[in-house]
Amino acid sequence: MVGIVSRNDPCQQIQTIGIVYITVDTNWTLYLSKWAQTVPTSDRIPLYRDVASRVLAMIDAGTFAPGDRVPSVRALSRQLSVSISTVLEAYRLLESQRVVEARPQSGYFVRPRGPVPEIPARSKSGRRTVPIDSSDLILNITESATDPNLVALGSANPCLDYLPVARLNRFLGRVIREHPTLSHEYDSISGVEELRVMIARRMLEAGCSVSPDAIVTTAGATAAIQLCLRAVTKPGDTVAVESPTYYGLLEAIDALHLRAIEVATCPEEGIDLDELEKIVSRQRVAACALVPNHGNPLGHCMPDDKKRQLVELLNTHDIPLVEDDAYGDLPFGNERPRAVKAFDPDDRVLYCSSFSKTLAPGFRVGWAAPGRYLDRVKRLKFSSFIATPSCTQMAIAQYLEHGGFDRHLRSLRRTYRELMDRMIHVVGDVFPAGTRATRPAGGHVLWVELPEHVDSMLLREQAAQAGVSVLPGPVFSPTGRYRNFIRLNCALTWGPPIEHALQTLAHLAQQQ
Ligand SMILES: Cc1ncc(COP(=O)(O)O)c(C=O)c1O
């Protein structure tokens, strides 16, 4: 191929005469036969920057594609009549901008750029119900995911830098000063009334009109999910779940001696209703347990009309839904998605959520709005816990009333969106060809599909030895699917350690 590559100079300070290339083989080798006669007309731009922008222009024009080797330092220096050190400086600049990468003894290559390709297809339904593997696998894996000595790509804990720690501490201090005996007494079974009032107001944002008396506070969403599942099942029953799904749900199913059946799930719109209908028509399903808004790990968001259809389907078959809305307040857009409970005239949805992802995971403040199962959930809460600590509930109630929660949420959503975008690009940049990832509409986790041969369980072990935590795909499936998938946490303070950790993971995956 012979051609004039670049006539318009981005800097307007160089006169380009022409560049001619000859393709010698089908791979990528281009021989530079004649370089432009370039005459700097101003000394305002350092020469190495000019050289860099010429190389960049050629990459942008497609002369050098991702993976291609760019001209060698020596060749470029000769052709442009500039020193070797000027070319080296230009390539180092391009390297720092992640445009090219140096490969030992081979030269500089164009880096793959742009976001990682999207996972296009929905998963498949399971054929059978399964008891969850009750080994310590999930415990071991999740413990290492929160190991403070590892770079925490594996946990889904929000980074405290983005949460209102100081403000909440002030409210907590004030509660203790103003109510010195509060934390020493048992709370009521339903929970602190001030908090339930604030939660009822907030649930309006999710389209749910629920009275404070219909709310039970719990130790995080986890306790709410457990209580609600217990309220509607008995040991041996089957629960339908998304595939992949949050491993905490699978743990709750295991703890209650239930069985799970995986239902095909779309990475954008959530559970496949046709598949769910086939399953519930074929066999007895005692409950459904779903994360319809920004589910973990897919980040999907079920559209309103599907939520409505889901409720109709479950009502027809008299199946209660345990709805986990832990990420509902974290959409990337301006509009908070409605909960499935918003479309539930028969009160068959047991809604669960918490402030763990938005305010303070360590406060362990969550709640259930269990609809027609309220009394059963209250009895179970009493028999399991009697009550939950009041001071943290009260501090959150006061924060919700006076602390600027909406402002905080706006900023948190913006931050998570930016971090997610960056993660999607870096994964596209550094992970092996064939890697794909979701495009979450909210939340802060990214589901990444690695090339088929990569074993994420092995990758987790290797990464831990290299100082990085990551969650392997099989923990998100009751049948151990998703062997070549990992989940990455984006709610981190971005910086060189995170980039380095991602490069380590990518390198280990590449080696496999
Ligand atoms: C979907 C989902 N639900 C619930 C939880 C746990 O919430 P909590 O800390 O309030 O128990 C998590 C935590 O990662 C989650 O991802």
Q: How would you label 63-78 residue by residue, b for 16+ Cβ within 10 Å and e otherwise?
A: bbeeebbbbebeebbe
Residue 394 lies in a domain: no
Helix axes 374-385, 220-232, angle to 10 degrees: 120
Q: What is the DSSP letter of 430?
A: H
- Same domain, residue pair 308 and 382: yes
Boundary residue ending a domain (110, 138, 162): 110
Residue 7 lies in a domain: no
Residue 477 lies in a domain: yes
Boundary residue ending a domain (50, 78, 110): 110
Q: How many Å lie between the centroid of ligand 1 and the Cα of residue 357?
A: 8
Cis peptide before 432 (omega within 30 of 0): no
pLDDT in tens, 383-418: 999 999 999 999 999 999 998 999 999 999 999 999
Q: How many distinct structural domains can be found in the chain?
A: 3
CA distance 254 to 320: 19
- Same domain, residue pair 376 and 414: no
74-83, 150-159, 435-444, 463-472 — which is least confidently predicted?
150-159
- Same domain, residue pair 260 and 347: yes
Q: CA angle, 435 as apex, 444 and 103 as ends, to 5°?
A: 110
Residues 6+ apart with CB under 8 A from 397: 192, 194, 195, 197, 198
Domain span including residue 427 = 407-511
pLDDT in tens, 212-265: 999 999 999 999 999 999 999 999 999 999 999 999 999 999 999 999 999 999
CA atoms within 13 A on the CB side of 499: 9
Q: Which residues line ligand 1 (CB under 6 A)?
A: 156, 220-222, 246, 248, 291, 296, 324, 326, 354, 356, 361, 366
- Collapsing DSSP to helix, strand or coil, 485 comes out as strand
Q: Report which ligand 1 atom has the smallest distance to the Cα of 354.
A: 10
Q: How many Å lie between the centroid of ligand 1 and the Cα of residue 222?
A: 6
Residue 495 lies in a domain: yes
| CATH label of the domain that carries residue 293 | 3.40.640.10
Q: Residue 226 class from Cβ within 10 Å (0-12 exposed, 13-18 middle, 19+ buried)?
A: buried
pLDDT on residue 255: 93
CA-based torsion, 446, 452, 453, 457: positive or negative: positive
Residues 6+ apart with CB under 8 A from 178: none
- Same domain, residue pair 250 and 353: yes
- Same domain, residue pair 37 and 82: yes
- Same domain, residue pair 105 and 234: no
- Same domain, residue pair 306 and 260: yes
What is the arithmetic mean of pLDDT over 312-316?
A: 97
Q: What pTM was estimated for this model as a whole?
A: 0.79
pLDDT in tens, 320-329: 999 999 999 9
- Same domain, residue pair 331 and 226: yes
Boundary residue ending a domain (386, 416, 450): 386
- Same domain, residue pair 448 and 308: no
